[in-house]
């Protein structure tokens, strides 16, 4: 019986990516006044934009003798799954995940949750030694959300 080679201690790999997008924070079940009170200027009917940064945290568990983590291939994967899909988009109007029909308000915490859900299965399919631990989305230099916490 042939067994898999022993796994080395896990390594956490983080890489930052940038994308720009606009969004409007709005809950359709609330009145316009309630939305304005809750979200302030972030509820502007035309939306507003951010230069976001995302930072996936990948747990890499390579078997002894495997090559190192392929950062260039990982960058291509993130670009394909997230950046190309959301960069220079109005999240509420141009993306299925944050459209009014789906009902996910594009707050920074919801963006982190949705991005984790999109990237995690793609990463698992890309490498049996890599898994997504978390993803942090920076909306500003002072505001971020990490999912899962």
Please indicate whether residue 110 or residue 2 has the higher confidence score (pLDDT). 110
Residue 100 domain-assigned? Answer: yes
44 is catalytic: no
pLDDT, tens digit, 9 for 90 and up, residues 93-117: 999 999 977 779 999 999 999 999 9
pTM: 0.90
**Helix axis angle, 71-78 to 108-126, nearest 10°:** 130
Residue 4 domain-assigned? Answer: no
pLDDT, tens digit, 9 for 90 and up, residues 29-78: 999 999 999 999 999 999 999 999 999 999 998 776 666 788 999 999 99
Residue 1 domain-assigned? Answer: no
CATH at 15: 3.30.479.10
Q: Which domain holds residue 71?
A: 11-147
Given a cut of 80, is residue 6 above it in pLDDT? no
Active-site pick, 23, 26, 50, 139: 139
48 is catalytic: no
pLDDT of residue 39: 96
Q: How far is the C-alpha of 30 from the C-alpha of 43, rounded, in Å?
A: 12
Given a cut of 60, is residue 5 above it in pLDDT? no
Active-site pick, 34, 88, 90, 122: 88
pLDDT of residue 102: 78
pLDDT of residue 37: 97
pLDDT of residue 62: 76
Mean pLDDT confidence for 82-86? 98
CA–chain centroid gap for 48, Å, is 19
Residue 6 domain-assigned? Answer: no
What is each CA distance from 119 to 2, 76, 99, 113, 123, in whole angstroms?
32, 12, 19, 10, 6
Residue 3 domain-assigned? Answer: no
pLDDT of residue 93: 95
55 is catalytic: no
Residue 49 domain-assigned? Answer: yes
pLDDT, tens digit, 9 for 90 and up, residues 18-31: 999 999 999 989 99
In the chain, the number of structural domains is: 1
Active-site pick, 42, 55, 90, 109: 42
């Amino acid at each position: 019986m042939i067994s898999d080679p022993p796994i080395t201690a896990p390594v956490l790999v983080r890489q930052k990516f940038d994308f720009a997008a606009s969004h409007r924070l709005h809950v359709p079940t609330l009145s316009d006044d309630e939305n304005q009170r809750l979200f302030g200027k972030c509820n502007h009917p035309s939306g507003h934009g951010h230069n976001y940064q995302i930072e996936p945290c990948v747990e890499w568990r390579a078997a002894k003798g495997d090559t190192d983590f392929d950062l260039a291939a990982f960058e291509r994967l993130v670009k394909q799954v997230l950046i190309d899909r959301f960069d220079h988009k109005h999240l509420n109007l141009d993306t299925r995940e944050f459209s009014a029909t789906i009902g996910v308000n594009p707050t920074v915490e919801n963006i982190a949750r949705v991005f984790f859900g999109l990237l995690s299965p793609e990463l698992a399919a890309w490498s049996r030694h890599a898994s997504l631990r978390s993803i942090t989305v920076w909306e500003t230099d002072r505001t971020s959300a990490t999912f899962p916490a």
